[in-house]
Structure formats: C-alpha cells, structure tokens
Amino acid sequence: MRTLSTPAFEDLGSLFSSEHANLFGFLLVRCGSRAVAEDLTGQTFEAAMAKFAVGDGREVTAAWLRTVARRRLVDYWRAEGARRRRHEKLARLYEPAERPPVDPDTDVDMALDSLSGKQRAALMLRYCDDFSVTEVADVFGLSYKAAESLLSRARRNFSDAYRANIEGGPR
C-alpha cells in the first residue's frame, strides 16, 4: 500500500492502477454520489495526464492527486450551491404572492390560477421556460418520476379547469 510520502510515478498507467480506487473512495465519502465521484476522479486524472503530457509527471504524487481532487470537490460544491440557489429563486418567482399580475379575464390565466403554486410553477418552468423534466425535478428536490407525476397532475388539473372555464363561463 502506498503512503503519501512515496516518490512520483514513472508513468500514467502505474499512477492510475495504484491510486484510482483510493481517490474514488476519498471523493465518494465526501460527495455521496457515485456519478459525481466518478466525474471528479476523472477530472483529477485528467489533470495528472496533462502534467505527464508536458513532461512534469514526476511532480505527480499521491498527495498531489489528493490536493487536485480536493480542489475539484470544492469547485463542485460551489457550482452545486449556485445551481441550487438559482433554482430556488426560479421556483419563488412562480409562487402566487410574487407572480406577475395576470389578466383574470382570460381562460388560460383563470385555469392557471386554479392550480396549486407548485403545480403552476412546474408547468411554467416546463412549458414557458423550457426546463427539462430533470431540471424541474431539481428545482423541487424531486426524483425524475415524481416530477413527471407532478407535471402530469398539473396538466390534468389545468385541462379540467380550462374546460370548466370554457363550458361554464366566467366564475
């Protein structure tokens, strides 16, 4: 087993075979997601490969890899926090108290107003802002299937309310 004080690696292959599992485990424990840990591990080895490509491979040690991995993890956490804040802000835009005023005389607006804030926001994000189902799921902290279900219920409720508005006239 290698220690942090071992000398640099002679080639990228020995570096990868020796350190991949340790580095992946180090990242997995800290981020909690296999996909993210795999991505960050790949980014770290990509940095090592760049060092080898310019002839600086002797600088690459286990400690160097861990430092690069730590930096990639911090970058991921920062980006993830910014993404979460952006989605929370978008979700708040569609809450009834903060939503732009609508013309209550139109059937579409009346149907939208009959929905819950979450259903209205989901429909607006999906069909007005062109969010994917995955992005809608991220905004509300749902799984993909739960977001599909939310959108399905929202479409059904919107359709029912819209038909009622047309058939029954203004409320």
**Which of 58, 59, 73 has the alpha carbon at shortest distance from 23?**
73
Report the C-alpha gap between 139 and 133 in whole angstroms: 10
Is 26 exposed, middle or buried, given 0-12, 13-18 or 19+ CB atoms closer than 10 A?
Answer: buried
CATH number belonging to the domain at 12-85, selected among 3.90.550, 1.10.1740, 1.25.40, 1.10.357? 1.10.1740
- pLDDT of amino acid 149: 95
pLDDT for res 40:
95
Q: What is the mean pLDDT of residues 90-110?
A: 61
- As a whole number of angstroms, the distance between CA 171 and CA 165 comes to 7
Spatial separation of the C-alpha atoms in residues 150 and 156, rounded to whole Å: 10
Tell me the CATH number of domain 94-168, given options 1.10.10.10, 1.10.3720.10, 3.40.50.300, 1.10.8.50: 1.10.10.10
pLDDT at 101: 53
pLDDT of 139 strictly over 90: no
pLDDT at 70 over 90: yes
Q: In the prediction, which pLDDT does 44 show? A: 93
Is the pLDDT assigned to residue 104 strictly greater than 70?
Answer: no
Where does CATH 1.10.10.10 sit in the chain?
Answer: 94-168
Q: How far is residue 144's CA from residue 152's CA, in Å, rounded to a whole number?
A: 12
**Mean pLDDT within 17-22:** 89
Output the average pLDDT for the chain.
81
In this prediction, residues 50-69 reach a mean pLDDT of 84
Summarize the confidence of residues 129-135 as an average pLDDT: 86
Quick one: pLDDT band at residue 37, thresholds 50, 70, 90?
Answer: very high
Q: What pLDDT, on the 0 to 100 scale, is given for residue 25?
A: 92
- Delimiting residues of CATH 1.10.1740 domain(s) in the chain: 12-85
